[in-house]
Amino acid sequence: MGERNIVAELEAARFLARASATLAQVGDYQTTLERIAALAVPAFADWFGVHVRHPDGVIRRLAVRHQDPLMEAKVVEMYRRYPPSEGKPYGAPRVIESGEPLWLPDFDQAIPKVARDEVHAQLLRELGLKSFLCVPMRSRGQVMGALTFATAESGRVYDEVQFSAATDLGQRAAIAIENALLLEALRDADKRKDEFLAVLAHELRNPLAPLRNAIEIVKRTDALKPDAAWVADVLDRQVRHLARLVDDLLEMSRFTTGRIELRRERISLRDVVTSAVEASRPAIERGKHDLHLELPRDPIVLDADPVRLAQVLSNLLNNAAKYTEPGGEIRLAASLDGDEVTIRVADTGDGIADGMHEKIFGMFIQGERRGERTAGGLGIGLTLVRSLVELHGGTVEAHSDGPGKGSEFVVRLPAFHRKLTDDKQGPRK
């Protein structure tokens, strides 16, 4: 008898361990519970069922499992003719309503108490149930559903060992369902946020064009008074800055909603760098930074979107200018390393604090700046950099020896080894 108990304990422990590992994979809880059903039959039960209480309070059957599909059809037909949650609840609905587990070592003795009439009793007998366990899935005092285990053709009888394992699994399943629902709510909130940002960016962009046109008209007015000219210049700079922020926000919304596409062609890295430097020149000159370019003599050819790649380098240069003290140094270097192009953008600026090397690529994350300077911007630039680089099949990393010791961003992209001058086909369509 003792040896049999040991074997039963080992089998229950093995099933509970496998089921718990499945529940730990937070995701769609319905799929997770269906996988639990596949584990339960026939290792722990001949029959397995899952019922859940939905937010509207209605109890629904999520899964019923038996090795013979014809037997599963019998249960479905019995539930159709005698809904468990109607009249006097039985089985899982009864457990969900009461919150108490149901353990029937000998199911035959319970049939007269459960059956609503003789036909119902006959349907229950045809299932051949021998032993029955139904445990609630309870979390934070709320019963979210129930797990049902039953034996039949195997002839096994559930004892305290299986009852304890089933009860434990019910609690773990409830936690897994709660975590899955929370994750689903977070994803839904994140989706709504992305949609809101996309709408916001479009709405903010609409009034910017007439504002810029109006400022250009004012600036071209003859005999503009000095104060008015100064105001026009301030308005021009601030509107351009606002337009850049809105463009970044709009770009990010395109990524998060999956509406961005690359227009690849064979391009020279030198041309891309030239375009990026031109775009970043105002920020570099405002900071009175020294910019050093180190490009190889031989042309480096990439299969990339020239506009998007220039945007990557421009964002990195702007980031370096923003986080570098006036008069600091910025260096952009590129090299061809086998099948890979390596681009490094380094500065002598504020550096990166420990633990922030990966986080700074997150949306709306900004690094700390020394002194009284404020960061400015939305904290989107580096997020766009990583997204665009990964779309090109590359990687980007951030390096720094710590605060005040500068930083370096390393972009690696696949190289295109055919010389640009030999490419007779032109841009790839």
Among 256, 277, 297, the domain-final residue is: 256
Answer whether residue 426 shows pLDDT above 60: no
Q: What is the CA radius of gyration of the chain?
A: 33
Does 178 share its domain with 218? Answer: no
Side-chain half-sphere exposure of 422, counting CA atoms within 13 A: 7
Does 218 share its domain with 291? Answer: no
Does 154 share its domain with 8? Answer: yes
Instruction: Convert the pLDDT of each residue in 144-203 to its tens digit.
Output: 899 999 999 998 899 888 899 888 888 888 888 888 878 877 777 777 777 777 677 666
Among 256, 275, 297, the domain-final residue is: 256
Task: Give dist(CA 304, CA 204) in Å, integer.
Answer: 30
Q: Is residue 314 part of a domain?
A: yes
Answer whether residue 3 shows pLDDT above 50: yes
Does 251 share its domain with 271? Answer: no
Residue 18's pLDDT band, with cuts at 50, 70 and 90, is confident
Could you tell me whether strands 102-104 and 142-151 are parallel, antiparallel, or unpaired per DSSP bridges? unpaired
Tell me which of 111 and 31 has the higher pLDDT. Answer: 111
pLDDT for the residue numbered 372: 47
Q: What is the mean pLDDT of residues 223-234?
A: 72
Structural tokens at position 170: 């019910």
pLDDT for the residue numbered 419: 45
Does 84 share its domain with 213? Answer: no
Does 216 share its domain with 280? Answer: no
Q: Is residue 428 part of a domain?
A: no
Q: Is residue 427 part of a domain?
A: no
Residue 230's pLDDT band, with cuts at 50, 70 and 90, is confident
Instruction: Convert the pLDDT of each residue in 367-419 to its tens digit.
Output: 655 554 445 555 678 888 998 999 999 999 999 999 999 999 999 999 886 54
Answer whether residue 320 shows pLDDT above 80: yes
Instruction: Convert the pLDDT of each residue in 270-306 to its tens digit.
Output: 999 999 999 899 889 989 999 999 999 898 999 999 9
Answer whether residue 228 shows pLDDT above 80: no
Residue 424's pLDDT band, with cuts at 50, 70 and 90, is very low
Q: Is residue 111 part of a domain?
A: yes
Q: CATH no. for residue 61?
A: 3.30.450.40
Q: Is residue 193 part of a domain?
A: no
Does 277 share its domain with 139? Answer: no
Tell me which of 228 and 124 has the higher pLDDT. Answer: 124
Handedness of CA 277, 279, 282, 283 (dihedral sign): negative
Query: What domain range includes position 228?
Result: 206-256
Q: Is residue 369 part of a domain?
A: yes
Q: Are 49 and 157 in contact (CB under 8 A)?
A: no
Residue 422's pLDDT band, with cuts at 50, 70 and 90, is very low
Does 250 share its domain with 387? Answer: no
Does 251 share its domain with 324? Answer: no
Residue percentage of the chain with pLDDT more than 90: 33
For 111, the 3-state DSSP assignment is: helix
Instruction: Work out the end-to-end distance of the chain between its first and last CA atoms, rounded to an integer number of angstroms.
Output: 76
Does 52 share its domain with 91? Answer: yes
Instruction: Convert the pLDDT of each residue in 49-90 to its tens digit.
Output: 988 888 788 888 888 889 898 998 998 899 889 888 777 777
Task: Give dist(CA 150, CA 355) in Å, integer.
Answer: 51
Q: Is residue 119 part of a domain?
A: yes
Number of domains in the chain: 3
Answer whether residue 425 shows pLDDT above 80: no
Task: Give dist(CA 386, CA 394) in Å, integer.
Answer: 9
Does 241 share its domain with 331? Answer: no
Does 295 share its domain with 348? Answer: yes
What amino acid occupies position 144?
M
Q: Is residue 196 part of a domain?
A: no
β strands within 66-184, DSSP E: 102-104, 131-139, 142-151
Task: Give dist(CA 116, CA 86) in Å, integer.
Answer: 11
Q: CATH no. for residue 296?
A: 3.30.565.10
